[in-house]
Amino acid sequence: MPDSDTILLDVEDGVATVTVNRPDALNSLNVEALEALDEALDEAADADVRALVLTGAGDDAFVAGADISHMKDLSTPEAQAYAELGHGIARSLETFPAPTIAAINGYAFGGGCELALACDLRIAVEDAVLGQTEIDLGIVPGWGGTQRLPRLVNDEVARRLIFFGERIDATDAHEYGLVGEVVAHDQLDDRVDELTSDLAAQPAFAMQAAKEAVNAAHEQPLDAGLTYEQRVFSGLFGTHDQREGMEAFVEKRDPDFE
């Protein structure tokens, strides 16, 4: 478990839930929380879970951003180190060996929005508010927002959100493609449980391969990505889950994946 109580890690039924536990600070991420979050993600990966959920404690915030009181006096080298810490965590979410879900239960600003962007799926409550608000602080997104947001939404939408620091509600976020689903606040936990249960029932090795292949679409030209997909596809043949999945289909029964 993480050394700090600012991050909670719960592993149950093949699902890891990582909770940023600073509700009095709207779950903003100070250095202690970032380091504990990094540790929690490593522990969850080592536990071979089938899905991971990232959320915030309380009813008000997912992650309201980074710790501005810490950031305001940073030198350029210190800011570089701080950016590297946030980038490392976002990359850990993006490359986590199982699907990740951002359960956005409230404010998701700045670094909080960026961590959500690094997850595979995003589900938000109706009263959630999201935004890349760094421009209001005289800076730009520093944990991947300028790169991941334009890959997820329309280019001009991304530019408007970043240039103006716009805060948008969950409905608009869904319309723009920033979140995949919007639910009532009291339905979030149940809906996340449904999603993680379905993900956990899928063949783990194929799921990891699927995630890696989709990630590759954002990182290399089309021809290289198609070649990578062929290699991933063919490499799954001969595995237990491939044989079981196809035999179950032919035999008209539910598969028993590892």
Asked about 251 being catalytic, the answer comes back as: no
Q: Which helix (H) or strand (E) holds 17?
A: strand 15-20
Please choose, from the candidates 17, 9, 27, the residue with its C-alpha nearest in 3D space to the C-alpha of residue 111: 27
State the Cα–Cα distance between residues 225 and 147, nearest whole angstrom. Answer: 19
> Which member of 39, 134, 156, 175 is catalytic?
134
- The alpha helices in 15-169, defined as continuous H runs, are 31-46, 68-71, 76-94, 111-117, 145-152, 155-164
Contact (Cβ atoms closer than 8 angstroms) between residue 87 and residue 144 = yes
State the Cα–Cα distance between residues 111 and 187, nearest whole angstrom. Answer: 25
> Which member of 114, 181, 229, 247 is catalytic?
114
Q: Which residues contact 106 (CB under 8 A, 6 or more apart)?
A: 26, 56, 58, 59, 60, 61, 62, 64, 125, 127, 128, 129
Please choose, from the candidates 83, 147, 148, 159, the residue with its C-alpha nearest in 3D space to the C-alpha of residue 117: 148
Asked about 134 being catalytic, the answer comes back as: yes
**Enzyme catalytic residues:** 114, 134
